[in-house]
Structure 1
């Protein structure tokens, strides 16, 4: 049975957390842009602006069930880079001001730092080295590794939970939706941290397309899952393994309290050599040391 305090807490959990990658930027179109323009100043292309505008319409349709629902609100977090800020401006055109309870610029969800101006030929060699070394742990000279991004995104998540607990002032009858406008790597790392994916699983993930978004939605048991809104085919295309997809389905469908008992915790990755029927020392009833001699 759920007590009243649990019920009240459940009401205040956001119904969805939506991760959005920025629209097409000048750097996506031509990597040479990074040689003369700082990464954080790279603008959207005209196509990127159109993508962001369309994404706003699509996200609003998800949140409002294509206009059928009236009791919903949104809160935005955005990377301080020009391309993400511009993406949010276009997305925001789909949301009336009264629906928006807050917007926060958040530096910890910025793009991975690649090391100031990027010389094209040098970056080509560096990225080839990254493929040999491993995408998660390779640190760009004068920049960051994906592991560094993981650390700051983890810090952001702690702040996000504090905001959810105490700072979002809204009618509990309204569905709250958090929309995070960020970058491909930061968004993938966010999912990795949230769902406790391993480094190996991260390495197989495909990047978001420009203005593509992922919807984490509360399942029946109060766990967030990609499988509530997205199909198995979509998750396969993103690079999720069968085990990861099964975990998402479990999060979506397990009753309250059943997630920990029924869902995978990747034990076979570390304990596949252990016989599950092995008893602990002293538990074998046939142990001769426990027998009395008559």
Structure 2
């Protein structure tokens, strides 16, 4: 690989529901579907179509020669809107969002109210290694992401994934220490439809090229949204 990028999916109905639940002080996020089936919101669809106009406007040599999407509906739809009919478009379950187990659908308030013992465990273990019952830690997600990156075969590879993915790729590709990566994630939100990318250096390492870039959305008629995922915030 010479270049690797990750686009966070467009805004989903789950993102909107989480924002409403958090701001309303509710314990539970009102989402009927399982996480894998949550669709894009109307704004998310506009972001996906803006991505499509952006790719259509650029020279083909700047296109990715391999596209890999998380198996979740919101990421597959975003990829399909951005690069319809791409000849090398794959879906890989290793790129899926973090699984929260017993904390699924709970807001920050809900976790504190219903599972205070888990907050104690999280503080003791640290966010990187804390695994909610039936769920995954950040380290678990990193293990499958590391496996996926090793298997990628392409000069320019573009991933369609989730908010957690750019943070973990900084750890994996750049060697950003755990503490620094988690502090950075705590103070940052990855905009929906944004691009983060890295370019291979002469020494074989990776250098950050773009970070949470949304200029393409604005240029092609969509507004960026900064709606956080429960997988990086609530648990």
The normalised TM-score by structure 2 is 0.70
Q: Work out whether residues 47 and 193 of structure 2, in 8 Å CA contact, stay in contact via their aligned partners in 1.
A: yes
Which residue of the partner structure matches residue 115 of structure 1? 101
For 1:102, which of 68, 88, 99 is the aligned residue? 88
Q: Work out whether residues 3 and 156 of structure 2, in 8 Å CA contact, stay in contact via their aligned partners in 1.
A: yes
- Could you tell me how far apart the structure 2 residues matched to 1:59 and 1:209 are? 18
- Could you tell me how far apart the structure 2 residues matched to 1:37 and 1:57 are? 30
Mark the CA change 1:179 to 1:211 in structure 2 (over 3 Å): closer, same or farther. same
Q: Work out whether residues 55 and 212 of structure 1, in 8 Å CA contact, stay in contact via their aligned partners in 2.
A: no
Which residue of the partner structure matches residue 18 of structure 1? 5
Q: Work out whether residues 17 and 217 of structure 1, in 8 Å CA contact, stay in contact via their aligned partners in 2.
A: yes
Q: Work out whether residues 64 and 158 of structure 2, in 8 Å CA contact, stay in contact via their aligned partners in 1.
A: no
Structure number with greater Rg is 1
Mark the CA change 1:141 to 1:17 in structure 2 (over 3 Å): closer, same or farther. same
CA RMSD for the aligned pairs?
A: 2.9
- Could you tell me how far apart the structure 2 residues matched to 1:201 and 1:216 are? 18
Unaligned runs of 5+ in 2: 19-27, 213-235
Equivalent residues in 2 for 1:183-198 (5 A)?
183-198=162-177
Which residue of the partner structure matches residue 15 of structure 2? 28
Q: Helix, strand or coil: the match of 2:151? A: helix
Which residue of the partner structure matches residue 128 of structure 2? 136
For 1:178, which of 153, 157, 161 is the aligned residue? 157
Which residue of the partner structure matches residue 80 of structure 1? 71
- Could you tell me how far apart the structure 1 residues matched to 2:43 and 2:63 are? 29
The normalised TM-score by structure 1 is 0.57
Mark the CA change 1:198 to 1:187 in structure 2 (over 3 Å): closer, same or farther. same
Higher RCO, 1 vs 2 (CA within 8 Å, ≥6 residues apart): 2
Q: Helix, strand or coil: the match of 2:88? A: strand
For 1:155, which of 147, 153, 177 is the aligned residue? 147
Unaligned runs of 5+ in 1: 1-13, 165-175, 236-294
